[in-house]
Chains A and B, each alone.
Chain A
């Protein structure tokens, strides 16, 4: 079957694109490994209009149900290959996708919304102690550290809200940040500063995660803290942002910026005709990486795909 649009990625951008596509009566399929995407990891979302204090997971589940109620199909897989095929010697061309399990699909347009994956610190001990004290998910793993001493690395909204969440379980939470001022929203910053369990260490980098062979026992810092370069800890949460998942778009010729973000214009068009992109991993998404902006960009991408499919149909009719 030839879809009007295939949406790659199942976070808020992709799900919203599907909602709009379904209402434009574009046949559509979502291919995405983690239904709900990045927002599912947020323990609390306080700034999504109409949903004060919702958990990221609940917000995601509502959007998934909304998309499904309009007919969305979600295939929980990775796309392993994306190519352009030319069924009629050139115009219009179609996109062919192959998933990791070998399923093949054809589409007139693609809306790519694969977002970002977690940035690694890249220090010794990080890989070795993953799941043994090193974590990238504060909302998942906080309760394993009841009464323990832990650190969060980073200064973003995710890092600071994560530290506040962890302080509900741990005895002591260090927030280690490389700059002078946390870059999180002022309301989060104030909450962290006022929390007696949270201590913020500025202008400091973690250069090694130390373990005893079984689990994390501390970190090594590049600046002395209380006259020591070693900070004893039971756990380390790494919250230093994301890197775009965009390499699968390179073979079809999509332009990326120097950091790998997908270059799009205001209509969420890439330089490849018929291929649109939305959400955290686009140059537009970079302006503000939030659920609400990802959803908005998904809506715009679907509208652009709709116009494109319509114009192709018109062109086809003229050529007959």
Chain B
């Protein structure tokens, strides 16, 4: 299942998560993000129970995008124990993302 992260639930769901969390920073107007979306959904299903996967709308959550220096989307950030440990910029295939987060 894919989560939806926001300014409100980010602390609880991402920073305090026991599992690593993959956050997809996206926006409705971004073409490559819309192509990326089904890839992220597949990763969410495949990694169920191992990694938490969700998306974060940068228009509705500008503070978080700014806090993590996101100035280009799509951007995927992997969080472990509250810290961003890996950032992936631009469109990636499922295999590429899985190789990066494993």
Q: Report the minimal beta-carbon distance from B3 to chain A, rounded to whole angstroms.
A: 23
**Contact in complex: B32, A78 (CB < 8 Å):** no
A55 with B31: in contact, given A33-B93, A131-B89, A143-B59 (CB under 8 Å)?
A: yes
Instruction: Convert A135-166 into 0s and 1s, putting 1 for each residue whose CB lies closer than 8 angstroms to a CB of B.
Output: 10101110111000000000000000000000
Q: Which of B4-12, B33-41, B45-53 contacts A (4 or more CB under 8 A)?
A: B33-41
A215 with B89: in contact, given A40-B32, A41-B32, A100-B95 (CB under 8 Å)?
A: no
A218 interface contact, C-beta 8 A: no
B residues in contact with A235, CB < 8 Å: 71
A209 interface contact, C-beta 8 A: no
**Contact in complex: A143, B34 (CB < 8 Å):** no
Complex Cα spacing A127 to B58, Å: 23
B27 interface contact, C-beta 8 A: yes
List residues 122-138 of chain A with CB under 8 A from any CB of chain B: 130-133, 135, 137
Contacting B75 at CB < 8 Å: which of A41, A131, A145?
A131
A140 with B31: in contact, given A76-B93, A77-B95, A131-B89 (CB under 8 Å)?
A: yes
A residues in contact with B39, CB < 8 Å: 76
B15 interface contact, C-beta 8 A: no
Complex Cα spacing A101 to B69, Å: 32
A214 interface contact, C-beta 8 A: yes
Please count the residue pairs between chain A and chain B whose beta carbons lie under 8 angstroms apart in the complex.
Answer: 70
User: How big is chain A's contact interface, by range?
Assistant: 20 to 34
A residues in contact with B71, CB < 8 Å: 131-133, 135, 141, 144-145, 215, 235
B residues in contact with A33, CB < 8 Å: 91, 93
B residues in contact with A135, CB < 8 Å: 71-72
A77 with B73: in contact, given A57-B34, A139-B31 (CB under 8 Å)?
A: no
List residues 66-102 of chain B with CB under 8 A from any CB of chain A: 69-75, 87, 89-91, 93-95
